[in-house]
Amino acid sequence: MVNHLKLFAIVSACLLTSTSSAAVNLTFGVGMTSKNPLWPKLHLYAQKISEQAGSDVTIKLIEVPFLRIESLVAKGELDGDFGREEESYASSKDSIVRVEEKIADLEFVLVSYSNGYQNGRQARNSRVAAQIGSHTHVRICKEWAMNCTYTNQSANRMEMLRTNRVDSILVALMEALEIAKTETKREVYLSDSLHKAPLYIFMAKKHEGLAHRLAKAIRKVKSDGTFSRIFGQEP
């Protein structure tokens, strides 16, 4: 009888252990195509966050139209998103949780083939391709009095720049640095920073229990230099 009780205790302990360490597979939406030069770095960053959060956590990135990400996260159809608080989720606060540790301050710059647009003030009334549906891009265009054309993907904006349909494109500095590295046909110039906005992870409410672990993971990859090695800039 004693042996049976011991066996029952061992089996119960095993079941409890396996339940508590069940794998957590998270799917994050990214509003860019996998052809974007920043995509591999975002994928690597997500991997590093997963590793620091624990061996049971994985984060997978998938392409999702920019305008749909917020509603999908709020509904729980997507697990999370790398987002800007000023950009979205204002109307979804009861349905999402923000991981409290900031990833970085996201800077926005102009990318052009002319150093005449290095200073944003010199770009007044210039033709700029910006992200459709982005409150941040609209705000920058209004503040700097730019003549903006709004498109969906950064690849579309680059094509507009290459074909001289616009004078410059508005992108995050992280992306601009990658464009400067990968653009081989012409020399690329980046403007001064036009705007800064904190970048966070937003998650569906059902994952509220993971927020603390992900915050610790973000702090780790910032403090050990992983972030700056991946993106080539300070968080």
The length of the chain is 235
Q: Distance (Å, rounded) from C-alpha 136 to C-alpha 142?
A: 10
- Candidates 6, 218, 200, 233; CA nearest to 109 is 233
Tens-place pLDDT, residues 105-148? 999 999 999 877 766 666 777 899 999 988 899 999 999 888 99
- Give buried/exposed letters for 115-128 (b at 16+ CB in 10 A, else e): eebeebeebeebbb
Q: Which phi and psi (to 5°) does residue 111 adopt? A: -115, 130
For residue 21, the model assigns a pLDDT of: 55
Pick out the chain residues at pLDDT < 70: 1-21, 87-91, 118-122, 235
* Contact between residue 161 and residue 169 where contact means Cβ atoms under 8 Å apart: yes
Report the pLDDT value the prediction gives residue 91, as an integer from 0 to 100. 66
pLDDT for the residue numbered 12 = 35
Distant-in-sequence, close-in-space partners of 139: CB < 8 Å, separation ≥ 6: 86, 195
- Return phi, psi of residue 30, to 5°: -130, 125
Query: What is the pLDDT, as a whole number, of residue 85?
Result: 76
Contact at 8 Å (CB) between 169 and 111?
yes
Give me the half-sphere count of Cα atoms (radius 13 Å) on the Cβ side of residue 231: 25
Spell out the long-range contacts of 134-140 with Cβ–Cβ below 8 A and sequence spacing 24 or more.
134/66, 134/87, 135/86, 135/87, 135/88, 136/84, 136/86, 136/87, 136/108, 136/195, 136/197, 137/108, 137/170, 139/86, 139/195, 140/108, 140/170, 140/194, 140/195
pTM score: 0.81
